Amino acid sequence: DIQMTQSPSSLSASVGDTVTITCRATQYINSYLHWYQQNPGKAPKHLIYGSSSLQSGVPSRFSGSGSGTDFTLTISSLQPEDFATYYCQQSYTTPFTFGPGTKVDIK
Amino acid sequence: QVQLQESGPGLVKPSETLSLNCTVSGASIIGPYWNWIRQPPGKGLEWIGYFYYSGTIKYNPSLKSRVTISGDTSKNYFSLKMRSVTAADTAIYYCARGDPRHNWSHPWGQGTLVTVSS
């Protein structure tokens, strides 16, 4: 199985900050990397597909990059609704696997 | 717009079978992938498997021996059955549409908590 790691596991930030989350795969996954946001008690919400393409309706302050094994999610000008847990997921090969999550909370 | 709704018992006894349905509205289940994903309380996400209308079904090998995923294109829903459950199977179970291109999950159902307990 392809293992996904994320760093940091948690971070504290303020409204207006820019944060970057890193996701790494143990094997090559091309650009088959997707990002999700989950608020407490809610289902995950899809943000980015194919490493860098924004899901329709997702604010442009979210951006993604990377290919191969190393990927990043950047949130520019953090808003109050962005304080959540973020997961990366690979769909290059089954079993699809998720990263352990990065919790973004308010400083 | 596509909407998914999980349904099934919220409490299952150890060693019994967990059965969930996912009803899809706003789209046909013919075309995309249809995923089952679970999340133990306070923990991360685990992909269980997917159904594709052609009959292709993929499972997570860690669960494959206990899981069956199926779909009914005439009634537009798909299902999950997990046999011989234990407390470790207690989780929120989500169904989600998988995009036909690279199978990212969007949208997701609201999730249903299944507790395994006697």
Average pLDDT over residues A54-81: 97
Q: Are strands B57-59 and A97-98 parallel, antiparallel or unpaired?
A: unpaired
pLDDT for the residue B55: 87
Distance from CA of B15 to the nearest CA of A (A): 25
- DSSP, collapsed to helix, strand or coil, labels residue A23 as strand
Contact criterion met (CB < 8 Å) for B47 and A96: yes
Average pLDDT over residues A31-35: 98
Distance from CA of B6 to the nearest CA of A (A): 12
Kindly report the average pLDDT of chain B as a whole number.
Answer: 96
Q: Choose among A3, A94, A91: nearest CA to B56.
A: A94
Decide if B92 contacts B111 (C-beta within 8 A): yes
pLDDT for the residue B36: 98
**List of chain B residues whose C-beta atoms are within 8 Å of the C-beta of residue A35:** none
Average pLDDT over residues A9-15: 97
Q: What percent of chain B has pLDDT over 70?
A: 100
Q: What percent of chain B has pLDDT over 90?
A: 94
pLDDT digits (tens, 9 = 90+) for A81-101: 999 999 999 999 999 999 999
Q: How far is CA A82 from CA A13, A41, A56, A79, in A?
A: 10, 15, 17, 5
Contact criterion met (CB < 8 Å) for B102 and A50: yes
Query: What angle (nearest 5°) sits at the alpha carbon of residue B82, between those of residues B80 and B84?
Result: 165
Which pLDDT band, with edges at 50, 70 and 90, does B72 fall under? very high
Count Cα neighbours of B51 within 13 Å in the Cβ-side half-sphere: 23
What is the largest distance, in Å, between two alpha-carbon atoms of chain B? 42
Considering only the beta carbons, identify the residue of A36, A94, A101 that sits closest to B58: A94
pLDDT for the residue A35: 98
pLDDT digits (tens, 9 = 90+) for B21-40: 999 999 999 989 999 999 99
Average pLDDT over residues B98-114: 95
Is pLDDT of A22 > 90?
Answer: yes
pLDDT for the residue A23: 98
Average pLDDT over residues A61-79: 97
pLDDT for the residue B31: 85
Instruction: Give the whole-angstrom CA distance, residue A35 versus residue A96.
Output: 13
Average pLDDT over residues A27-41: 97
Q: Choose among A11, A16, A1: nearest CA to A78.
A: A16
Average pLDDT over residues B111-118: 98
**List of chain B residues whose C-beta atoms are within 8 Å of the C-beta of residue A49:** 99, 102, 104, 106
Which of A91, A93, A98 to mutate to test binding with chain B, by most B CBs within 10 Å of its CB? A91
Query: What angle (nearest 5°) sits at the alpha carbon of residue B55, between those of residues B20 and A36?
Result: 55
Q: Choose among A93, A77, A61, A59: nearest CA to A13.
A: A77
Which residues of A sit within 8 Å Cβ distance of B?
A: 1, 32, 34, 36, 43-46, 49-50, 55, 87, 89, 91, 94-101
- DSSP, collapsed to helix, strand or coil, labels residue A88 as strand
Average pLDDT over residues A39-60: 97
Which residues of B sit within 8 Å Cβ distance of A?
A: 35, 44-47, 58-62, 94, 98-99, 101-111
Decide if B97 contacts B77 (C-beta within 8 A): no
